[in-house]
Amino acid sequence: MPRTRYAPDRGLTTRMVTTMFFIGLLYVVFVGVLLALLRGAWPLILLIAGGLFVAQFWFSDRIAAFSMGAREVTPEQAPELHGAVDRLCALADMPKPKVAIADTDVPNAFATGRNQRNAMVCATTGLLRRLEPEELEGVLAHELSHVAHRDVAVMTIASFLGVLAGMLTRVALWGGLTSRNSRDSNTAIAVLIIPLVSAVVYVISFLLTRLLSRYRELSADRAGALLTGRPSALAAALTKVTGQMARIPTRDLRHAEPFNAFYFAPALSGQSLSSLLASHPPLERRLDQLARVAAQLGQEGRG
């Protein structure tokens, strides 16, 4: 992958490697448990597990974009949005991703893609309608940071394990219960153990992705602010987007909520969440960090 002018973040890199290591270990353990309990269904388990993992890696960006209603647009259809992305990519010295718009009043943005050449950055119509040009550039710089740092790909793969656990459980149980060895005592044990193991796998993968998600948002805020040199614009966008969430219909927020880990700001109507379960750090923490970046840039300017 080509380097960009986004500030590197060793803390983010360390967390991504650690998360992928534990996710991979969890994946191997989970499949191993299924193979041990349901020997008769092992070909089907390996086929489904391998096929889904490969499909998730290659098509995850398209799946995510489709799920969130992203529609790719041309420069003629969205000149302001394309212009902002063009300026930021030139500033960051990175390839221009696909540009998309999601037709929803929820003011948000997200990025997908397994690498810079297959990336897509998307803004919602609600975001485009509410933000000033410099605020929009701040949000887009944040999202492009996810692409440059590759954490969007790590998040997509990591979040897939919980879904895979449920799918493999259904396949394994169906294969085990309908096999010739269905009367074997192992099947009865599997019926009890597999749901428990699946629940543990889901909880662990959920917590791992949440921990990474919160740090990567802080990293993207900092990198985006340093790239544009305007942390105040990003802070204004954060404050405006978060404040507007309370005015969005509940049904729209519920539709967007499953994708909170990918969004610029969580689709919440003001309700509090445990810090352990939250996909994003608190607004106050993000604003405090941006204030420190502004102070740092001010000192460098005076120097």
DSSP 8-state class, residue 281: -
Question: Hey, which residues does 124 pair with through a beta bridge?
Answer: 102
3-state SS string over 25-70? HHHHHHHHHHHHHCHHHHHHHHHHHHHHHHHHHHHHHHHHHHHCCE
Q: Any known ligand binding at 76?
A: no
| Beta pairing, strands 70-72 & 98-102 | antiparallel
DSSP 8-state class, residue 7: P
Task: Name every residue whose Cβ is closer than 8 Å to that of residue 155 and which is 6 or more positions away in sequence.
Answer: 209, 212, 213, 216, 261, 262
- DSSP codes of every residue in 74-123: -TTT-HHHHHHHHHHHHHHT-PPPEEEEE--SS--EEEE-SSGGG-EEEE
Q: Any known ligand binding at 142?
A: yes
- Out of 76, 132, 143, 257, the active site residue is 143
Cβ count within 10 A of residue 192: 9
Q: Any known ligand binding at 217?
A: yes
Active site residue 300: no
Residues known to be catalytic: 143
As annotated, the binding site for Zn(2+) includes 142, 146, 217
As annotated, the binding site includes 142, 146, 217
